[in-house]
Amino acid sequence: MTQWLASIEATDTGHNVALALALLAAFLHAVFGALQKGRHDPWMTRGAVDASYGLMAAPFALFVVPWPEPHMWPIFAGVFVIHVIYKSLQAWAYTKGAYTVVYPVVRGTGPLFTVIGAYILFAETFTLTQWLGVGVLLAGIFGLGAYNLAYLEAERDTLPAALGLAVITGLFVALYTTYDAYGIRATANPFTFLAWFFFIDGLFMPWVALARYRRMTHPPDLGPLALRGVFGGLVAIFSFGSIMMATRLDKVGEAAVLRETSTVFAAIIGWLVLKETVGPRRIALMTLIALGAVIVEMGG
């Protein structure tokens, strides 16, 4: 598998595989976001998910894949810090606003910063059509933010904080996407990066969740929370693994932008599963974000 992946890097086949992986990551990431905002406290859910995928990854990291090269350890240290900040901001944002408010802004803001980071780090450039797509995507994002500020009634008092946190979280989405793309390209075996990433990344949030659990007046039942954590851990592994492999096979900026078609899946999940009021205008704005991502892909 590793040899085959290496053989299709920067080829038409690699581009098509990266496209499929980015779309898979889009759907799975929308599912993951709904899991974190769903029934349980976002911090508790994140802790359960991280503990699950950390335990799943441990035997692969320690006994299956080749161990990381010496130069990878400082990279993993940076990965750990960036993801701790990102996950903390994400959980904080979900405590302030509805899923269909926070998620599109987070996922939509990220690509702009990612495109800039990919240009600086990997010398990737966009065509005029692709920049038009980025503009369409941003129009959807800021239109959605303006609409929510003007019309949304639920969680009204915390809405500005939720939107502000969502934008900052989007910045860290771009930072981890670009930095992790650098990391997965820095090792000979991409599965080494993925296994060790999930093993290391699963070490922090479970302790935060445990501390929060002990302070709760009415803590949740651990059985359903653990089940959600296992399911979320599997979703996270395939979601993150897909987008990271896409950034190794093809352009980082294009993969990151295409992943933001997840906003359409998020609208559907928020409406059908979380029973949040979405409405035709917000659906149209979310679709505009996804349309921008499609234009970027078609213009490449």
SS (H, E, C) the chain: CHHHHHHHCCCHHHHHHHHHHHHHHHHHHHHHHHHHHCCCCHHHHHHHHHHHHHHHHHHHHHHHCCCCCCCHHHHHHHHHHHHHHHHHHHHHHHHHCCHHHHHHHHHHHHHHHHHHHHHHHHCCCCCHHHHHHHHHHHHHHHHHHHHHHHHCCCCHHHHHHHHHHHHHHHHHHHHHHHHHHHHHHCCCCHHHHHHHHHHHHCCCHHHHHHHHHHHCCCCCCHHHHHHHHHHHHHHHHHHHHHHHHHHHHCCHHHHHHHHCCHHHHHHHHHHHCCCCCCHHHHHHHHHHHHHHHHHHHHCC
Q: What is the rounded CA–CA span in Å between residue 108 and residue 139?
A: 10
pLDDT in tens, the chain (300 residues): 777 877 888 788 888 888 889 889 888 988 877 776 656 677 888 899 999 999 999 999 999 999 999 999 999 999 999 999 998 898 888 888 776 677 777 877 777 778 888 888 888 888 889 889 888 888 887 787 777 667 765 566 777 888 889 889 988 988 998 899 999 999 999 999 999 999 999 999 999 999 989 998 888 888 888 998 999 999 999 998 998 999 888 888 888 778 877 777 777 777 777 677 667 887 888 788 778 877 887 776
Q: Which two tokens stand for residue 162?
A: 């939720």
Q: Which two tokens stand for residue 269?
A: 């999940």
Q: What is the rounded CA–CA span in Å between residue 190 and residue 183?
A: 9
Q: What is the rounded CA–CA span in Å between residue 166 and residue 17?
A: 30
Q: Specify the pLDDT at position 263.
A: 72
268 burial (CB, 10 Å; 0-12 / 13-18 / 19+) is middle
| CA neighbor of 91 nearest in space, from 102, 101, 81, 82 | 102
Q: Specify the pLDDT at position 38.
A: 57
| CA neighbor of 200 nearest in space, from 222, 223, 175, 183 | 183
Q: Specify the pLDDT at position 208.
A: 92
Q: Which two tokens stand for residue 120?
A: 């600086």
Alpha carbon 13 to chain centroid, angstroms: 25
